[in-house]
Amino acid sequence: MEKSTKICNKCNTEKQISEFRSKRCICKKCEQVHKTNYLRTKRGLVFQMYLSQKQSSKRRGHNPPNYTNIELYDWVIHQDNFKSLYEKWIKSGYEKMEVPSVDRIDDNKPYSFDNILLTDWRTNKAKLHTDLISGKYICKHKKVLQYDKDMNLLNSFFSMSEAHRVTGASISKISLVCNNKRKSHFGCIWRFDNEKNT
């Protein structure tokens, strides 16, 4: 008879098998804590930036960034404003709007060192909104609506990418919910708006 519990190698607590991923010795809760702590380090932060850039480039039909994750890390930490942005993010309690963010100078062009600057997500988001309203940037992605499980509207985002950056929800899982292949994600129901951003 198979055991229904096992001990997590991280917190040394006996837990139900369902609280572990298949063949893992660390429980899901401890894994999430480890992931969160890593993404708050400088390397983890840049890793997430790079991953988001690759995903964004693919969705928009752009070439991927013309630099590696390591090259981006070197670029980020040598920006004059990185230290102040990073420390401000920490002091804010890791507020999503304060997270350091790489913004493209021209959103219609791919990521390259001559087309990016370092800012925070609040400023990045405000610029995107301004560019969309002015017509400077023509977004080809549908707006995403976030509802609670009672279908009360919580928020509206320009794209799945923005929803991910603001809420931390997975882009792929938001997409699955929007396409009726998953019931919910992140405790929310997600729907594409009927109108595209123009």
Confidence of residue 195 (pLDDT cuts 50, 70, 90): very low
Mean pLDDT on 168-195: 90
* 44 or 168, higher pLDDT: 44
CB of 135 within 8 A of CB of 193? no
Find the helix or strand (DSSP H, E) in which 60 lies.
helix 42-60
Q: Is this structure's pTM higher than 0.75?
A: no
Mean pLDDT on 84-92: 97
Q: What 3-state class would DSSP assign to 115?
A: helix
Q: Are 91 and 128 part of one and the same domain? A: yes
What's the gap between Cα 56 and its chain centre? 10
Q: Are 60 and 123 part of one and the same domain? A: yes
The whole domain housing 50 covers 46-134
* 85 or 108, higher pLDDT: 85
Q: Which of 65-69, 163-167, 181-185 has the lowest mean pLDDT?
A: 163-167
Identify the pLDDT of residue 94: 95
Q: Are 124 and 189 part of one and the same domain? A: no
Confidence of residue 196 (pLDDT cuts 50, 70, 90): very low
Q: What is the mean pLDDT of the chain?
A: 88
**Which CATH number covers residue 180?**
1.10.10.10
Instruction: Give the total number of structural domains in the chain.
Output: 3
Residue type, 52: S
Q: Are 124 and 163 part of one and the same domain? A: no
Q: Which of 101, 134, 167 is the last residue of a domain?
A: 134
The string over 152-178, giving b where at least 16 C-beta atoms fall within 10 Å of a residue's C-beta and e elsewhere, is: eeeeebbbbbbbbbbbebebebbbbbb
User: What residues have CB less than 8 Å from 17, skipping those under 6 apart?
Assistant: 2, 3, 4, 5, 6
Q: Which of 95, 110, 134 is the last residue of a domain?
A: 134
Q: Which of 88, 103, 134 is the last residue of a domain?
A: 134
